[in-house]
Each structure stands twice: as structure tokens, then as C-alpha cells.
Amino acid sequence: MQTEIKLPNISSYQEAKKLIQSGELVAFPTETIYGLGADALNAEAVAKIFEVKGRPSSNPLIVHIGEKNQISELWIVENQFQQQIIDKFFPGPITLLLKKKDIIPEIVTSNPFVGIRMPSNQIAADFLKTVERPIAAPSANISGKPSPTSAPMVLDNLKGKIELIIDGGTSDFGIESTVVKVDEEDWKGKIWILRPWFITKEDLEKLFAGQEVEVEYTSKDQNMSPGTRFKHYSIDAKIHIISSAAEIPQKLTAPTALLATKERLLREDCPAFHDPQLLKLGWGTEENLASCAHSLFDCYHSIEKQGIQELYVQKLPENGLGFAIMNRVKRSAES
């Protein structure tokens, strides 16, 4: 199978529509990362996602929509708190778990709840509106590898396995969407963050200010959200999380990289900085942690292609966006 990368236009969207309608897969950009999409209502097409990615069948998928009116066709909105999240953050980089209707095949998820997402990326919106189908889409990569943030990264993962990649440039945010679940009892709300990212705990607390709502990170209900149970974001290099460059060994014995903010690279020094085996990568700035997220998976991809064996990653403050970024770094460092 030949894989083609095509720019977003009417012609490529129509080609994508034909592929989706015939049960094939299409990779497309969103504001978070690139997704590998299939018709969410076609069980055989969805099965190809798991086959192509090598993804465990018990790892649930997120369903993407282009219009809010599709929600009532596929999900049940059970309370006002869910509706408030939809009204405030759709479209945007957030996935909301809602009780699914029977029309959604069991292969998408065996759970009673399934993630719904409405991307804010214009190319994703145009793609979704053109194909006129809800699209089940995890990240467009081999399962367990860093999520792709550009069409060339998708090609490196899936060349010869799918026919079409729609090229939307580099993803704006670079990390997958926030995943939340809402519980409601006696008119009180509990917002659980299963997977953190750009829509933060603080953003949700602000939305529900003055209401009887609590917002918490949680490790429960992990079987309902992707990116929480299985090994993710792994690269061939061994990853070490450090607070200071002084923690890098003075004598390097293998190709090594340091991933740190640009400010940290300027103000720190250590013997390893002068070793030709050390590759220093500035992955963003401390004033704008979103820039660190934007380049994280791209840096991982580059490090792997360059044959780096040891990677040292600067620890970021674990609040707000820093919490979400370190969530991904810690997952990638798991053995």
C-alpha cells in the first residue's frame, strides 16, 4: 500500500470521505496531535485501527465529531455539569466521557461511557464535516510510541499501512486532549480528570466557581480513558528525570541528550555540557510551558532517529500545564 501525504483542500477531503465510507483509515491533524480515523459506527473499520497500530483491544477509543448536534445521536447528556463543559469547551482540546447509545459498536469501547471530542482545529473540523460520520481516532502512531505532531511523524509510523495523511502542519498543542468524567449526585457535581492537559484543573474550577462542584485528578476509571493504563510515549533511549544538570554523569559512555528549558540551558553548567556525546535540546521556555508541550514528542522523535541511548529530562513544576507535561514524561520513563 502506498501512503500519500496531501494538503488540506476540497479534493483531499473528498478522497478522505471515500476512504472512510469504504471502511478505510485516514490520518488527520487536530490542535492536539494527529489522529488515525475510522468510521466510528463501522465495527470492521474500527478494528483496522487496532490492527494497524498494534493497539490492545481493551484500550478505548475517542470519537470525534464536527457538529454539536451529533451528540444527541450518539451519547446521553445526563446532567447540567456535562452540558456546561460542552457549552464552554467544545470545540477544544478536551474529551468528555458520556454514556453511549447502542449505536456505538462495542469495539470502540466495552465501557458504558465513551469519550467525545470536538476538535477546534479548522482542518479537523473541515475533515469531520466533509466525511459526515463520527470518527473514532486514537493517535496516528504505532501503539506505545510518542504521539505524532506532524505529517512526517505519522509517515514514519504508518508508511505502507494507510493510504492517506492530511497534512495540517505542526500541531498547536502537541499533547493529547484532557479527558474528564462527570459524576452527579443530589445536584452536586464531581469532575474527575483522568488524563490531564491544556484544559487544566484550574480552568474547570473557574468554570464551576460558585457551584457545588469539586474537581480532582484521579486514577480511577482508567479503563474508560486512553493513555492511562498501557505503556505510552516510549522511545529506545532510557529516560531519566532530573532536577539539575549536575545529575548527568561527568563521563558519558553513550550518545546522550538533555531536554531542558532554554533558560535552564543558559544558566546551568556541568562537565557533561562539554562532552561531544551530549546533545542539548531546548524544549521550550519556563515562561511559556505550553511551548515545552508543543515540542516534547517532536524532540522524542528526533532523539530516537538520532540513536540517542540516554535521555535526561528536566523536571518541570507539577501544577497547571506542568502537571500534564510531567504526566507524559513520567509515562515515557516507565520501564
Cell of 110: 466495552
Q: What is the pLDDT along the chain (335 residues), one digit of tens a residue?
A: 999 999 999 999 999 999 999 999 999 999 999 999 999 999 999 999 999 999 999 999 999 999 999 999 999 999 999 999 999 999 999 999 999 999 999 999 999 999 999 999 999 999 999 999 999 999 999 999 999 999 999 999 999 999 999 999 999 999 999 999 999 988 899 999 999 999 999 999 999 999 999 999 987 766 777 766 666 788 999 999 999 999 999 999 999 999 999 999 999 999 999 999 999 999 999 999 999 999 999 999 999 999 999 999 999 999 889 999 999 999 999 86
Q: What is the DSSP letter of 174?
A: -
| CA separation for the pair 323, 335 (Å, rounded) | 20
Q: Are 269 and 289 in contact (CB under 8 A)?
A: no
The pLDDT score that the predictor gives to residue 189 is 96
Taking the whole predicted model, whether its pTM rises above 0.85 is answered as: yes
> Coil, strand, or helix at residue 62?
strand
Cell of 39: 468510521
The pLDDT score that the predictor gives to residue 228 is 65
The pLDDT score that the predictor gives to residue 333 is 93
Q: Which residues pair with 116 in a beta bridge?
A: 63, 96
